[in-house]
Amino acid sequence: MFALFSQTLGITAPVFAMLFLGVLLRRLGWIDIAFIDTASTLVFKGTMPTMLFLAILQADLDAALQPALLGYFTLASIAGFLIAWAWSLWRCPRPDRGVYVQGAFRGNNGIVGLALATSMYGDYGLSLGGVLAGAVILVYNTLASVVLAFYSPTARTDPWSLAKSILGNPLIIGVLVAIPFAYWHVGLPAWLLTSGDYFAQMTMPLALICIGGTISLAALRESGGMALGASLLKMVWLPLLETLGAWLCGFRGAELGVLFLYFASPTAAASFVMAKAVGGNHQLAGGIVVITTLLAAVTTNIGIFILQWLGWI
């Protein structure tokens, strides 16, 4: 268990380092609100779609394409989304519900989940987790677009407007464009892949620095109750329900382990970027990212220990 704790800490510690760097840079005056707005736009419209495109392009679809597992993950994610939405009706004011729901169901699977799956199960975990990441990206970004648009003070919420909001989301466009390239194994020039990788590697540092730059103790105190409630839902209750459901559906071993790691991942930094892009409460979104990342080092290890003790994985 100590080895797994070290692995989890090794993945989450760099996240905190970049968050604190954002706080420090803002205090030193090296970055300001104008920089944060510009950098967030660059991440949302450029670097993150490129990162998602390359992740899908490089996934081994043939080695780990399991329709039952993908189907269960999709249904469980939708169920978790609906539970979070229903819970938000009692937990937070209407303007903050979209950000609350997104923070409570959307995991950082492309980085934390995939890294832990690879650490635990090697190449099989990498292939299985990589394919699962494709479903994650589509499901999470579609549901997040719906709930954020629904509670946005400026967005229209009729079906056609929601559809345009989803299909116009740069993150979803990045995935949809990548799917035919990955399916038909379309090759791209090596120089283009290298340049794209350079561009995509800016995603997490910029996103996390922007989160750190907007964090304030006053804002965390103001939204502390909501942020903590969304974080406990994300890191404790939903992983418990979704993993138990997977066991009841017959998943065992590596498949159940990877599902748990994905369900138990902390909230994705992309939730902050999307909340800021639609004019939502990005400070609440940042607070949820910080709290869930802190909790991950504890809840993930406890969950794996229990699953191993029960002989399920």
Helix axes 170-183, 48-58, angle to 10 degrees: 20
Query: Residue 208 domain-assigned?
Result: yes
Q: How many Cα atoms within 13 Å fall on the side-chain side of residue 51?
A: 22
Q: What is the pLDDT of residues 125-145, one digit of tens each?
A: 877 877 787 788 788 988 998
Contact 128/261 with Cβ under 8 angstroms? no
pLDDT at res. 296: 85
pLDDT value at 51 more than 80? yes
- Across 91-114, average pLDDT: 88
Query: Residue 213 domain-assigned?
Result: yes
Query: Residue 189 domain-assigned?
Result: yes
Q: What is the pLDDT of residues 73-100, one digit of tens each?
A: 999 999 999 999 999 998 889 989 999 9
What CATH number is given to the structural domain containing 11? Answer: 1.20.1530.20
pLDDT value at 157 more than 90? no
Query: Residue 254 domain-assigned?
Result: yes
pTM, two decimal places: 0.80
Provide the domain limits for residue 146.
2-307
Q: How many Cα atoms within 13 Å fall on the side-chain side of residue 28?
A: 9
pLDDT value at 110 more than 80? no
The count of domains in the chain is 1
Query: Residue 312 domain-assigned?
Result: no
pLDDT value at 188 more than 90? yes
Query: Residue 181 domain-assigned?
Result: yes
Query: Residue 247 domain-assigned?
Result: yes
Contact 50/196 with Cβ under 8 angstroms? yes
Closest C-alpha among 112, 99, 104 to residue 231: 104
Helix axes 97-105, 114-151, angle to 10 degrees: 160
Q: What is the pLDDT of residues 6-25, one digit of tens each?
A: 766 776 778 778 888 998 99
Q: Could you tell me the end-to-end alpha-carbon distance of the chain, in angstroms, rounded to an integer?
A: 14
Closest C-alpha among 273, 277, 291 to residue 234: 291
Query: Residue 313 domain-assigned?
Result: no
